[in-house]
């Protein structure tokens, strides 16, 4: 697990109280993956309703509020595989 994944898990856990309605995975290319579900946030690579994939710079930009998940998706920088409804719920958590 990388320092980026560790920091992201902590930051998302601070934003996400009470778990996430669905199962989502955020893959940060070259770094690892983060799981969000009813149990909370953790590093891991498990099956999910939706998988979002981005590079480290884009993930940082989303977490810091310099870009939104929706604009990243519309520009083709954020890949989404699976349930768009779950992706939109995750987008609200990340924004």
pLDDT computed for residue 68 by the predictor: 92
Which ranges in 1-95 belong to alpha helices (H)?
3-15, 56-63, 69-74, 84-94
- Per-residue buried b or exposed e for 6-25, using 16+ beta carbons within 10 Å of the residue's own CB: eebbeebeeebeeebebbbb
Segment 7-21 shows an average pLDDT of: 88
pTM score, whole prediction: 0.90
Average pLDDT, the chain: 92
pLDDT computed for residue 15 by the predictor: 84
Segment 14-33 shows an average pLDDT of: 91
Segment 11-17 shows an average pLDDT of: 86
């Amino acid at each position: 697990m990388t320092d980026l994944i560790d920091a992201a898990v902590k930051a998302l856990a601070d934003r996400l109280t009470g778990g996430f309605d669905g199962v989502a995975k955020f893959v940060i290319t070259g770094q690892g993956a983060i799981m969000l579900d009813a149990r909370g946030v953790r590093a891991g690579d498990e099956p999910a309703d939706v998988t979002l994939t981005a590079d480290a710079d884009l993930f940082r930009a989303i977490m810091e509020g310099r870009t939104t998940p929706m604009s990243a998706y519309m520009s083709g920088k954020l890949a989404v595989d699976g349930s768009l409804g779950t992706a939109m719920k995750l987008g609200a958590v990340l924004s």
